[in-house]
């Protein structure tokens, strides 16, 4: 992948896509192909085929997806499975048919079984039941990585799949109804600090363990793998260590400057007990994360307060 190659980033305005734009721009890549959803509906097969036929990108980062937290996944399962299947199917097929040199498909660690061994190795895929609250999203993502593997096997199409752990950072979604845990906590603690509230309620028991990767680290890993990995097998992308939700909540409170009490609402769902990726394969390929969690949370909080001020 050279600096003057046409590189299409599907989903460039989202958390992952915007980080890829920043990372590639930093590398001096000058031909980034970007389209808003209002300009190109990725669920429309004919529109996607016409787009690829016209612009002929050489490389594709497939970061476009319908995403959300526990509430959104559990409330709108039909939307999550339909939209994600349409988006990824259209892009992967159009990329193959229009001579794309290489495609990178971004999955999610929720593809692994709810009670997978910890840390989760790539080969535990499809060895047990999924977490029910995000099953439809996970099934769509599994279909995407299997499609990449099938197109590689049958057509010789160079498509690779990566599985990032829980992400956070600039351009995240801070809507309390649809966001993931880090932006939700940042917003809750910030609003409580501003309002002078004495307590903040956090969903669940605080006992589940999660791994968190700054999205700029993910973008760096994706560019690295695009240049250095060509296998059919998926690759986990994470930091290799996790913390409890309770520990995360206390860390976010410190970063934000909230000094009140934290109460855990045990009536709300915990989700999967633990999600930690085995990143030994990624490490053996030559990459590891570089952004410390506290440092990354401070960056995310700064971005949130700046965006609120705009």
Per the annotation, does 56 bind a ligand? no
Q: 203 has which bridge partners?
A: 265
pLDDT number for residue 10: 98
Local confidence band at 71 (pLDDT 50, 70, 90 cut-offs) = confident
Confidence of residue 197 (pLDDT cuts 50, 70, 90): very high
pTM of the model: 0.93
137 included as an active-site residue: yes
Closest CA to 245 of 277, 200, 189, 206: 206
Is 121 annotated for ligand binding? no
Q: Check the annotation: does 225 bind a ligand.
A: no
User: Does the annotation list 238 as a binding residue?
Assistant: no
| Structural domains in the chain, sorted by start | 7-169+212-240+275-291 (3.40.50.720)
Q: Tell me whether residue 68 is annotated as binding.
A: no
pLDDT on residue 89: 98
- pLDDT number for residue 274: 85
Cβ–Cβ contacts within 10 Å for residue 156, how many? Answer: 8
pLDDT, one tens digit per residue, over 154-189 is 999 999 999 999 999 999 989 887 678 999 999 999
Report the pLDDT value the prediction gives residue 67, as an integer from 0 to 100.
79
Instruction: Report whether 165 belongs to an annotated binding site.
Output: yes
Whole-number Å distance between alpha carbons of 95 and 114: 32
Dihedral (CA of 17, 23, 25, 28) sign: negative
pLDDT mean across residues, the chain: 94
Please tell me the predicted confidence (pLDDT) of residue 45: 98
> Is 173 annotated as contributing to ligand binding?
no
**Residues 203-241: tens digit of each pLDDT:** 999 999 999 999 999 999 999 999 999 999 999 999 999
* Burial class for 126, CB neighbours closer than 10 Å (0-12, 13-18, 19+): exposed
Q: Give me the mean pLDDT over the 237-260 stretch.
A: 97
Q: 214 among the known binding-site residues? A: no
Q: Which of 8, 59, 96, 137 is catalytic?
A: 137
**Residue 303 known to bind ligand:** no
- Residue pair 250/262 in contact by the 8 Å Cβ criterion: yes
């Amino acid at each position: 992948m050279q600096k003057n190659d046409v590189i299409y980033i599907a989903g460039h305005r989202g958390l992952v896509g915007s980080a890829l734009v920043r990372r590639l721009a930093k590398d001096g890549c000058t031909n980034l192909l970007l389209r808003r959803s209002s300009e190109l509906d990725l669920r429309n097969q004919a529109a996607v085929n016409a787009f690829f036929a016209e612009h002929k990108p050489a490389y594709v980062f497939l970061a476009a997806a319908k995403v959300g937290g526990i509430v959104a996944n559990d409330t709108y399962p039909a939307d999550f499975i339909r939209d994600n299947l349409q988006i990824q199917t259209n892009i992967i097929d159009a990329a193959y048919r229009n001579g794309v040199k290489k495609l990178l498909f971004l999955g999610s660690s929720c593809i692994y079984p709810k009670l997978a061994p910890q840390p989760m190795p790539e080969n535990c895929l499809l060895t047990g039941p999924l977490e029910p609250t995000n099953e439809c999203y996970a099934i769509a993502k599994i279909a995407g990585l299997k499609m990449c593997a099938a197109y590689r096997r049958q057509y010789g199409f160079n498509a690779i799949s990566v599985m990032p752990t829980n992400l956070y950072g600039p351009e995240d979604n801070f809507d309390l109804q649809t966001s993931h845990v880090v932006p939700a906590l940042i917003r809750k603690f910030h609003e409580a600090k501003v309002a002078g509230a004495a307590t903040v309620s956090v969903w669940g028991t605080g006992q589940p363990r999660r791994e968190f990767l700054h999205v700029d680290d993910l973008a760096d890993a994706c560019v690295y793998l695009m240049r250095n990995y060509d296998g059919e097998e998926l690759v986990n992308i994470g930091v290799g260590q996790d913390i409890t939700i309770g520990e995360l909540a206390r860390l976010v409170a410190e970063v934000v400057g909230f000094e009140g009490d934290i109460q855990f609402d045990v009536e709300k769902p915990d989700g999967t007990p633990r999600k930690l990726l085995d990143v030994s394969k990624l490490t053996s390929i030559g990459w590891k994360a570089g952004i410390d969690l506290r440092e990354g949370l401070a960056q995310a909080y700064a971005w949130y307060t700046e965006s609120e001020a705009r």
